[in-house]
């Protein structure tokens, strides 16, 4: 056997062994996803058993999971942005197995909300597009959809006051997430931001940002404050506001920061 032939044979043997290992790992990944899905469905059953109105979506917990994944990943050569994109596909898809999860998306100029929905939420989720943010808000408040995605806009505080004021049934909307949540070299993410609306209150993730509506001398303004809503009383006092001047629109986890 010539040297070239021997080298090719040795190469083929090594590659076959490595490809077999890749196939084994791929099969293991599928099995792990199946196992994770089974646990998620059990979580959903427990929630339904103990609550008439269970909340299946937990953005604060999701944020903590993504931060842990990014920390565990460290400086591994596989792109961290790609790893977190995989997680972002898995988490909503698995959450939808616990209970209904669907999206109402604003068809804004520039399609910012639509593009953020495509990047951040699983492709398997049901979604419906609406002409404006008022229609999105109504779709979420009525229970037609779980989440609403709108282009971020703080230039109309009157809209925020109206949309987050409880209705006759005591229902109101909350800002629970700002997109993009993964802040780094992730392809396809619009430069402009979007906000996610829900008819349930968010939970703290440990690294949060709160949006508040301040009424000062009949002038409304939307302000961003570091921390979850528990930080607002101290912030208001430091700013010289009475709490009756301050209305919490919602809070959401700080973005996961990735280096370029």
Q: What is the pLDDT of residue 10?
A: 92
Q: What is the pLDDT of residue 188?
A: 55
Contact 212, 222 (CB under 8 A): yes
Contact 116, 136 (CB under 8 A): no
Provide the phi-psi class of 257: left if phi over 0, else alpha when psi is between -120 and 50, else beta: beta
* pLDDT tens, position by position, 208-229: 999 999 998 888 888 999 999 9
Provide the phi-psi class of 66: left if phi over 0, else alpha when psi is between -120 and 50, else beta: alpha
User: To the nearest whole number, what is the mean pLDDT of the chain?
Assistant: 89
Instruction: Please give the Cα distance from 33 to 91 (Å, whole number).
Output: 11
Q: What is the pLDDT of residue 184?
A: 63
Domain boundaries 55-257, corresponding CATH code: 3.40.190.10
Place 132 in a pLDDT band, splitting at 50, 70 and 90. Answer: very high
Q: What is the pLDDT of residue 148?
A: 96
Q: What residues are paired with 128 via a beta bridge?
A: 104
Q: Which residue has the higher pLDDT, 168 or 18?
A: 18
pLDDT at 170 over 90: no
Which residue carries 């949006």 as its tokens?
211
Q: What is the pLDDT of residue 1?
A: 63
């Amino acid at each position: 056997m010539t040297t070239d032939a021997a080298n090719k044979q040795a190469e083929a043997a090594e590659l076959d062994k490595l490809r077999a290992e890749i196939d084994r790992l791929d099969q293991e990944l599928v099995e792990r996803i199946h196992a994770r899905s089974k646990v998620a469905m059990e979580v959903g059953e427990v929630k339904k058993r103990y609550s008439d109105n269970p909340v299946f979506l937990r953005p604060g917990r999701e944020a903590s999971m993504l931060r842990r994944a990014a920390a565990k990943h460290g400086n591994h050569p596989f792109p961290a942005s790609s790893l977190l994109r995989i997680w972002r596909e898995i988490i909503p898809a698995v959450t939808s197995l616990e209970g209904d999860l669907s999206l109402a998306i604003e068809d804004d100029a520039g399609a910012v909300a639509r593009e953020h929905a495509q990047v951040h939420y699983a492709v398997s989720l049901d979604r419906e597009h609406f002409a404006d943010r008022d229609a999105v808000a109504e779709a979420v408040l009525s229970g037609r959809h779980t989440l609403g995605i709108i282009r971020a806009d703080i230039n109309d505080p009157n809209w925020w006051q109206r949309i987050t004021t409880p209705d006759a049934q005591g229902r109101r909307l909350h800002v629970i997430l700002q997109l993009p949540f993964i802040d780094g070299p992730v392809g396809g993410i619009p430069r402009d931001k979007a906000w996610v609306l829900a008819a349930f209150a968010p939970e703290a993730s440990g690294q949060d940002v709160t949006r508040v509506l301040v009424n000062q001398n009949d002038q409304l303004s939307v302000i961003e404050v570091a921390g979850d809503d528990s930080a607002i009383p101290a912030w208001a006092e430091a700013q010289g506001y009475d709490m009756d001047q301050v209305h919490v629109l919602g809070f959401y986890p700080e973005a996961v920061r990735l280096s370029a």
